[in-house]
Amino acid sequence: MAKRLHDPFWIFDPAILLTRADEFVPRAEFNLEEKRNSITRFVAYANEEEQHNVSQTARLTSSAAASQTVLNINDQITSSIGVYR
């Protein structure tokens, strides 16, 4: 295995978070800065996933509410003209 060049802490070079995006779990051979960088990547990834899930849940909730509204309107129209499902 080739000797690894140690990366600076991301605060001094934010691009480092993207250049080694696959390193989001700290390893024993990482120095302290690299471990912190990997934890930062992991937190950013987890936050992105959480926001995606919240957004998807909001869409589903909104879609269900819209469907219920359509059904309610449909029921009002059909009952007002005497048509039943």
For residue 70, being part of any structural domain is answered with yes
Q: Which amino acid is at 11?
A: I
Mean pLDDT confidence for 4-13: 82
Q: What is the pLDDT of residues 72-81, one digit of tens each?
A: 666 666 666 6
Q: How many domains does the chain have?
A: 1
Residues 30-71: pLDDT tens digits? 989 999 999 898 888 888 777 776 676 666 666 666 666 666
> How many CA atoms does the CB half-sphere of 78 hold within 13 Å?
9
Residue 50 lies in a domain: yes
CA dihedral 56, 16, 13, 34 (to 10 degrees): 100
For residue 21, report the phi and psi dihedrals to the nearest 5 degrees.
Answer: -60, -25
> Whole-model pTM?
0.55
Q: Is residue 34 part of a domain?
A: yes
- Structure-token match 């359509």, residue found: 70
Domain of residue 72: give its range: 16-79
